[in-house]
Structure 1
Amino acid sequence: MYRIGSIVLLLALLGSVEAQGKPSKDPVQMGGAKPVSEQIREVELAMSSDEYSELTLQDKSTVKASLSQIQSEIGDHERVDQLPPQKQVAIFNEQEKVNTILTRSHADSRVVCRREKTVGSNFPNNVCMTVAQRRDALEAARKNMRDANRSQLIPMD
């Protein structure tokens, strides 16, 4: 009985530690029932977090421009549904821009770890990179292989 209790306690502790260490699974999205000012605050906080580490400078400026456009359109109102339809459409378009950028960046910022063997060693190591870093490394390797193959195909005079 003591053994079963300690196993259950260990599993409960592991579950709580795992839940604390994991980033949120869903990206921050604009829209819904929350007041617009609260949504803007959430987006600004999220952009500075590690969950959006692959957010480029251009994307950050686009999001900030969209947020300022939303703030100017919303004016003194708290929610989008309090505005005339034309302004609602303009805000919706800006929100979609923000949501698209944040969703892509959230997916690219996800860290993936793999156990890989280093050349010349039998010991595997954990190699952790974001999805975007892995994609960039793969593209760089492909480019290097293409360039190496092209240099071998140069005709000799």
Structure 2
Amino acid sequence: MRPSTIRFALLAAALAAGLATAADDKEHKNYSFSPSHFEAQREAIIKGMRGKTYRELSDEDRDTVLAALDRMAGHLEGVSQLEELDKRVQTTLFNDQELVNNLLTQAAADSRLICRRETFVGSHRSTNVCLTVLERKRLREAAQAQMYSMQGSGYLPPEQSDVNPRPIRQRPIP
């Protein structure tokens, strides 16, 4: 086999690996990529971005995904097979597909809902608290920042690791 044929086969296999989409608001899925099914996959991705599947996708990442999908749609217009496209266009499609896959996979992981039974201070009753992974991370970081700011203002004693203690020398017992 010639090197160009091997590269083309690898690119076609990579493109067939899947374009990340969401068929419904419940889960993130990978579909096999084909030009004839691209519009349906694109609509499923957009539907997932409006729903709960990708709710933690930032506005900047949302714009990036939509721009990549528009570029892909432009390249695939009137094409029924990938072999009809120039090698450079195939590479561009592959790169846009990887960009979409990476952003949507991370957003789906961050948007996963986790419910825990928690008891609030002053109460003996426990309740279900459901937050996304990213919401829990934001709350944890905000609590840490608040603790650090309280330490700097004198409300709390500084941590032992922030202070450079001198070693205590013991006197010999007479």
Per-residue deviation at 1:139? 0.3
Percentage of identical aligned residues: 32
Distance 1:83 1:57 in 2: 32
Q: Which residue of 2 aligns with 1:124?
A: 126
Alignment-derived partner of residue 63 in structure 2: 61
Instruction: Considering fraction of residues, name the structure with more helix.
Output: 1
Which residue of 2 is the match for residue 136 of structure 1?
Answer: 138
Instruction: Give aligned pairs, total.
Output: 131
5+ residue gaps, structure 2, are 1-24, 159-174
Structure 1: stretches of 5+ with no match in the other structure = 1-21
TM-score calculated relative to the size of structure 2: 0.68
Structure 1: distance between partners of 2:70 and 2:29: 17
In structure 2, how many angstroms separate the alpha carbons of the residues matched to 1:129 and 1:122?
Answer: 21
1:151/1:81 Cα in 2 relative to 1: closer, same or farther (>3 Å)? farther
In 2, the alpha carbon distance for the partners of 1:61 and 1:78 equals: 27
Partner of 2:150: 148
Q: Relative to 1, partners in 2 of residues 1:59 and 1:79: Cα closer, same or farther, differing over 3 Å? A: farther
Aligned to 1:115: 117
- Residue equivalent to 1:6: none
Q: Give the drift of 1:31.
A: 4.9
Provide closer, same or farther for how the CA distance between residues 74 and 121 of structure 1 changes in structure 2, counting only shifts above 3 A: same
Once the two structures are TM-superposed, the CA of residue 82 in structure 1 deviates from its matched residue by: 3.1
List aligned pairs for 1:1-157, cutoff 5 A.
Answer: 23-24=26-27, 27-29=28-30, 31-33=32-34, 35-152=37-154
Letter in 1 for 2:105: T
Tell me which moved more, 53-62 or 111-120.
53-62
- 8 Å Cα contact 1:112/1:129 also seen in 2: yes
> Aligned-pair distance for 1:85?
1.7
Please give the per-residue CA displacement for 1:90-133, whole angstroms capped at 9, x wherever unaligned. Answer: 00100111111110110111110111110001111111101110
Cα distance in 1, alignment partners of residues 68 and 96 from structure 2: 5
